[in-house]
Chain A
Amino acid sequence: MTRSFLGMPATAPPGVGHLRGTEPFPAAARRALSDAQLRRNLGHATATIRGRSAAVIGEVPDWPGLRAAGRAIKTDTMARLPELLEQLEAAVTAAGGTVHWAADAVQANRIVTDLVRATGADRVMKVKSMVTQEIGLNEALEAAGIEPVETDLAELIVQLGDDRPSHILVPAIHRNRSEIREIFLRAMPGVDRALTDEPAALAAAARRHLRQTFLSTRVAVSGANFAVAETGTLAVVESEGNGRMCLTLPETLITVMGIEKVIPTWRDLEVFLQLLPRASTGERMNPYTSMWTGVTPGDGPQAFHLVLLDNGRSAVLADPVGRQALHCIRCSACLNVCPVYERTGGHAYGSVYPGPIGAVLSPQLTGVADNASLPYASSLCGACYDACPVMIDIPSILVHLRGQAPHPRAEATAMAAAAYTMDHPALYAAAQRAVRLGRLAGRRGRGLPPPLSGWTASRDLPEPPRQTFRQWWAER
């Protein structure tokens, strides 16, 4: 472990987990854009979910009030995060659970691996969880000789396809039904060779494939959607029943959660249990929501461990503008409305957190220098802000983070010169005359000369007008 000064907020360490891509967004996006099948799959899927979500949100007369309450609760949570975590720890412990603290991905992976080893199990079943993807838990378990089995259908498709997740809610959104059928035929042991690509048939194949795993695996790992500080209650929201299997059948349950998932009170659940399903899957309520508090004698796992993970979240909290990225409830509505995500897909973002929320969360978790292209992976159209059920102002954070990303010296010099010019009216008038002369000289649009050509390589320079506003004003 690095010797860090006590109390300094820290970013997520490199070399572990999946928060950093191997290439900048523009390079990865260019490759994704040339994949016509990917664009068809994404266009179809995101259009479907947008329509469903809009329909069920339209049914709720108090949606704006729920969103505002969601934002207020999260703002209050972040302001009191250390105290709420201590309260959560005490409540979980009192209910028979054990709480562990992990400063980063390395510590979290070690804690979980040690807990699994202590049970003697060589296999764990997993509920879909963003945070265990973030820390690379599967790789750490495999390195320790423990087999992780993903039980969510989309995660199973990704795992069997030796692929990477590309969406927060539906990690296999980039695959269509016939591609999924091919993956199952290739990688699912004992699968019926006559399998069709009907979604119902594919779901039934997954049911048969995982049934024995559910009944015989002694340890499960989950994430958490919410953790109530007041009561110590954990909540997991899901659809298929794989979550219920993992939360109910094994002897030992290990839940890994980012520290920002805590909410203050039981009553606060009434807000988020309405916001999340409608914004996320476009359902009035997802098929299954499980809530448990510590250990219940005679029902469910008799050993419960909660791992509280920082991994860069303290660094996000330290930025008063960027802090609200921690309000995210991982619904993925911002991905589904984003014109950039819809065209590039999730892989181009490099991090497990793609789309608009990923573009503000990943650079803050790692430090902006390690994900410097992500704040630019947006047109700043604002659709994400409109769609966010907890009203995270993603465009403002993007602009804020762009200011922190490294900029070429020429750009900084030009901006300083422009600022000086605009501060001095005489200079400004002279500059405007020069621009007009440029127009007369026939230098039309598009490019600036070096060293400023980098700025116009991907932007058209607007053609200067025939007459400036000041001239028009002077002549009227």
Chain B
Amino acid sequence: MSAREVILGRLRAALGGPVPAPAEVARDYRGPGSAVVDLDLFVERLTDYRATVHRCADADVAGTVDAVLGGRRVVVPPGLPRHWLPDSVTAVPDDDLGVDVVAAADGVVTGAAVAVAETGTIVLDAAADQGRRLITLLPDVHVCVLRADQVVATVPDALARVGPYRPLTWISGPSATSDIELSRVEGVHGPRNLHVVLVAAESGTPVDRELEAQG
């Protein structure tokens, strides 16, 4: 008899009786769409967890990236908008780079799928402007460019915007630990520097990448 049959048999014996229908869970909390996005709160929460926030227009993203990573080697995911990259960086396009090459780079620039204002969280879903998970993990500086319309209010809002069939990475500030006397210390294995570039939404040119991706 397989372990599978043994375990399932034990569990059915433990419960006894017929299988109940799925219960209706009372969701007496703020679900998707029930809270208002507060961009200032988003910035405050990011800053509280030691991320650096830059607010600028889309045309000024390259200048912001230049100020952070100018003169350095930067991994670039395949779908990153080219105008976000300044000429001052040495772009290393990720065409299946080896881990050592990625680890040797100084930084990485990506977009994001969605962000959560209330928790100061950005969510990556490995779309073309974000790339493979490892490129945002090994370099020590991560610059993440977000459009203001990608910021939602709460965790339920964010989960409703992303799906299970892409690997997801939820990032709240730089790598940190609370393992020494339960005090939070930034900077362990992940990027020790997280810069979030928040691009003001431009009226008249809404590009809803999520809808495109899911459609």
Encoded as 1 (CB less than 8 Å from any A CB) or 0, chain B from 140 to 154 comes to 000000000000000
Please tell me if A392 contacts chain B, counting CB pairs below 8 Å: no
Please tell me if B171 contacts chain A, counting CB pairs below 8 Å: yes
Q: Are B159 and A269 in contact (CB under 8 A)?
A: yes
Q: Are B190 and A240 in contact (CB under 8 A)?
A: yes
Specify which chain B residues have a CB less than 8 angstroms from the CB of A270 in the assembled complex: 31-32, 155-156, 159-160
Known interface pairs A76-B22, A153-B177; A267-B7 also in contact (CB < 8 Å):
no
Specify which chain B residues have a CB less than 8 angstroms from the CB of A101 in the assembled complex: 2-4, 6-7
Q: Are B30 and A62 in contact (CB under 8 A)?
A: yes
**Which candidate, A18-26, A309-317, A365-373, is the interface stretch facing chain B?**
A309-317
User: How many A-B pairs with Cβ below 8 Å?
Assistant: 269
Please tell me if A154 contacts chain B, counting CB pairs below 8 Å: yes
Q: Which 3 A-B pairs have the closest CB atoms?
A: A241-B190, A65-B28, A241-B189
Please tell me if A103 contacts chain B, counting CB pairs below 8 Å: yes
CA distance A376 to B114 in the complex (A): 48
CA distance A284 to B190 in the complex (A): 19
**Which candidate, A134-142, A287-295, A468-476, is the interface stretch facing chain B?**
A287-295
Which residues B156-201 have CB closer than 8 A to chain A? 156, 159-160, 163-191
CA distance A245 to B136 in the complex (A): 11
Q: List 27 A-B contacts (CB under 8 A).
A: A6-B9, A49-B178, A65-B27, A69-B28, A76-B22, A76-B23, A82-B19, A86-B8, A103-B7, A151-B189, A176-B181, A207-B188, A240-B177, A240-B188, A241-B189, A242-B188, A244-B169, A244-B189, A266-B163, A270-B160, A273-B155, A281-B178, A284-B49, A285-B121, A288-B169, A289-B168, A300-B134
Q: Which residues of B contact A (CB under 8 A)?
A: 1-15, 19-20, 22-23, 25-32, 45, 49, 96, 99-100, 103, 116, 118-121, 126, 132-134, 137, 155-156, 159-160, 163-191
CA distance A204 to B4 in the complex (A): 44
Q: Are A203 and B188 in contact (CB under 8 A)?
A: yes
Specify which chain B residues have a CB less than 8 angstroms from the CB of A76 in the assembled complex: 22-23, 25
Chain A residue at smallest Cβ distance from B181: A45
Encoded as 1 (CB less than 8 Å from any B CB) or 0, chain A from 45 to 86 comes to 110110010000000011011101100110110011111011
CA distance A233 to B20 in the complex (A): 24
Specify which chain B residues have a CB less than 8 angstroms from the CB of A65 in the assembled complex: 27-29
Q: Are A245 and B10 in contact (CB under 8 A)?
A: no
CA distance A66 to B5 in the complex (A): 35
CA distance A317 to B7 in the complex (A): 12
Q: Are A248 and B7 in contact (CB under 8 A)?
A: no
Known interface pairs A170-B182, A317-B14; A287-B175 also in contact (CB < 8 Å):
yes
Which residues A1-48 have CB closer than 8 A to chain B? 4, 6-10, 41, 44-46, 48
Chain B residue at smallest Cβ distance from A169: B178
CA distance A102 to B165 in the complex (A): 27
Q: Which residues of A contact B (CB under 8 A)?
A: 4, 6-10, 41, 44-46, 48-49, 52, 61-62, 64-66, 68-69, 72-73, 75-76, 79-83, 85-86, 95, 100-103, 107, 151-154, 157, 169-170, 172-173, 176-177, 180, 199-200, 202-204, 206-207, 210-211, 214-215, 228, 231-233, 239-242, 244-245, 247-249, 259, 264, 266-271, 273-274, 281, 283-293, 296, 298-300, 308, 310, 314-315, 317-318
Within the complex, what minimum Cβ distance (angstroms) separates B213 from chain A?
A: 15
CA distance A126 to B26 in the complex (A): 37
Known interface pairs A269-B159, A317-B11; A244-B190 also in contact (CB < 8 Å):
yes
Contact of A239 among B116, B155, B164, B175 (CB under 8 A): B175
Known interface pairs A62-B28, A244-B190, A281-B178; A287-B10 also in contact (CB < 8 Å):
no
Q: Are A284 and B181 in contact (CB under 8 A)?
A: no
Q: Are A274 and B187 in contact (CB under 8 A)?
A: no
Q: Are A239 and B176 in contact (CB under 8 A)?
A: yes
Q: Are B185 and A203 in contact (CB under 8 A)?
A: yes
Known interface pairs A269-B159, A285-B116; A244-B164 also in contact (CB < 8 Å):
no
Within the complex, what minimum Cβ distance (angstroms) separates B23 from chain A?
A: 4
Q: Are A287 and B166 in contact (CB under 8 A)?
A: no
Within the complex, what minimum Cβ distance (angstroms) separates A95 from chain B?
A: 8
Within the complex, what minimum Cβ distance (angstroms) separates B4 from chain A?
A: 4
Q: Are A199 and B168 in contact (CB under 8 A)?
A: no
Q: Are B13 and A207 in contact (CB under 8 A)?
A: no
Within the complex, what minimum Cβ distance (angstroms) separates A159 from chain B?
A: 13
Q: Are A85 and B8 in contact (CB under 8 A)?
A: yes
Within the complex, what minimum Cβ distance (angstroms) separates A158 from chain B?
A: 10
Q: Are A318 and B14 in contact (CB under 8 A)?
A: yes
Interface centre among A177, A233, A285 (most CB of B within 10 A): A285
Q: Are A314 and B11 in contact (CB under 8 A)?
A: yes
Chain A residue at smallest Cβ distance from B183: A199
Chain B residue at smallest Cβ distance from A74: B25
CA distance A7 to B7 in the complex (A): 8
Within the complex, what minimum Cβ distance (angstroms) separates B176 from chain A?
A: 5
CA distance A123 to B35 in the complex (A): 48
Q: Are A69 and B155 in contact (CB under 8 A)?
A: no
Known interface pairs A207-B189, A259-B7, A317-B15; A300-B133 also in contact (CB < 8 Å):
yes
Within the complex, what minimum Cβ distance (angstroms) separates A454 from chain B?
A: 35
Specify which chain A residues have a CB less than 8 angstroms from the CB of B175 in the assembled complex: 239-241, 287-288
Chain B residue at smallest Cβ distance from A181: B180
